[in-house]
Amino acid sequence: MNTVRTRALAALHGLAIGDALGMPTQLLSRSDITGRFGSIEGFEDGPADHPIAPGMRAGTVTDDTEQALLVARLLIEGDGHIAPDRFAVELALWEKQMAAKGSADLLGPSTKRAIEAIAAGDSPLETGKYGTTNGAAMRIAPVGVATPHEPLDGLLDRVVEAGLVTHNTGLGIASAAAVAATVSAGVAGAGVGAALDAGQRAAEAGAVRGHWVAGGDMAARIAWARAHVVGRPEAEVLDFTYDVIGTSVASQESVVAAFALAQYLADDPWKAVRLAAGLGGDTDTVAAILGAMLGACHGTGAFPAEAVTTVREVNGIDFESLADDLLALRGR
């Protein structure tokens, strides 16, 4: 039987599983992925010539999960809040640690720019005013686990805190709010359709927070994408997602792509994340967001037990303790 805890666990499992499935395919074109791997049926090693993940072990997570774990830790240490200056320090430290390991999977463009501005003396309250890419959305799932989606303003406040340093724009906040609210509604027991509706409402409300930047409205794009995929053949949906929505680091593309696939494959989380991993572009982020959202809605059985075991053992993640600590915040 599903409980709040099993759904929270499945959200965290889905985040890591989607991320690890997309690790060897990120930044590759859809045709290149097909030529190298065929269809994605499970975890694969990073190809030796991969620009970011050369030779990485199958099942290894990327910056999406690692930064989500950072958000989770700071939430827990901060009793549900994240201090902007602390977040900036921790992100910069994380990148240094990754670079020391020889990793090329470092900070995304918006986050990188913000951290460099802080290092130059700018206030963390100002550095996120140009961040529009998907970095805030990719790491926001722990906020959704730890925070009820109603009242919405309370969730939005936590989303803004988690993205203030790097993505303090209407687009950045709207995209992260959409993911957080979907995860939160799923953890609370909502089905996929209702949870995606909650995410769409959060995107609309979040768009008026932060600094204004030009770009397509997140809630409107989510609504359009969800409506378009209903009843379509699978091949047409995948073409539409890759060619029309887009799968780049732009939040209006990758986050919307995750919502489109969640709508289309609402009843099959495992297939959904595997298709996302084979889609091309920012595959690890699309699949991670998708896995977190569908995992939260499905709970127990959302993903194969062997996939959960793989990401736990390969990455040394204690999902159970993490879920318990985040849910302790939710209950306050």
Q: 133 a known binding residue?
A: no
| Domain extent for 26 | 4-54+61-330
Q: 132 a known binding residue?
A: no
Is 138's pLDDT higher than 70?
A: yes
pTM for this entry:
0.96
- Range with the lowest mean pLDDT among 89-93, 191-195, 227-231? 89-93
> Which pLDDT band, with edges at 50, 70 and 90, does 206 fall under?
very high
Q: How many domains does the chain have?
A: 1
User: What is the CA 165 to chain-centroid distance, rounded?
Assistant: 17
Average pLDDT of the residues in 79-92: 90
| pLDDT for position 105 | 58
| pLDDT for position 300 | 93
Could you tell me the CATH number of the domain that includes residue 139? 1.10.4080.10
Backbone angles phi, psi at 51, to 5 degrees: -70, -20
Q: 267 a known binding residue?
A: no
Radius of gyration in angstroms for the set of CA atoms belonging to the chain, rounded to a whole number: 18
- Annotate 264-278 with b (16+ C-beta within 10 A) or e (fewer): bbbeebbebbbbbbb
Is 191's pLDDT higher than 90?
A: yes
**Cα–Cα distance measured from residue 114 to residue 158, given in angstroms and rounded to the nearest whole number:** 19
Average pLDDT of the residues in 140-155: 97
Average pLDDT of the residues in 272-291: 98
> Which pLDDT band, with edges at 50, 70 and 90, does 103 fall under?
low
Q: 62 a known binding residue?
A: yes
DSSP code, position 133: B
**Cα–Cα distance measured from residue 5 to residue 91, given in angstroms and rounded to the nearest whole number:** 28
| pLDDT for position 106 | 59
> Which pLDDT band, with edges at 50, 70 and 90, does 102 fall under?
low
Q: Mean pLDDT in the chain?
A: 94
Q: In 147-268, where does DSSP find H-type helix?
A: 152-163, 170-187, 192-206, 218-229, 234-240, 251-264
> Which pLDDT band, with edges at 50, 70 and 90, does 93 fall under?
confident
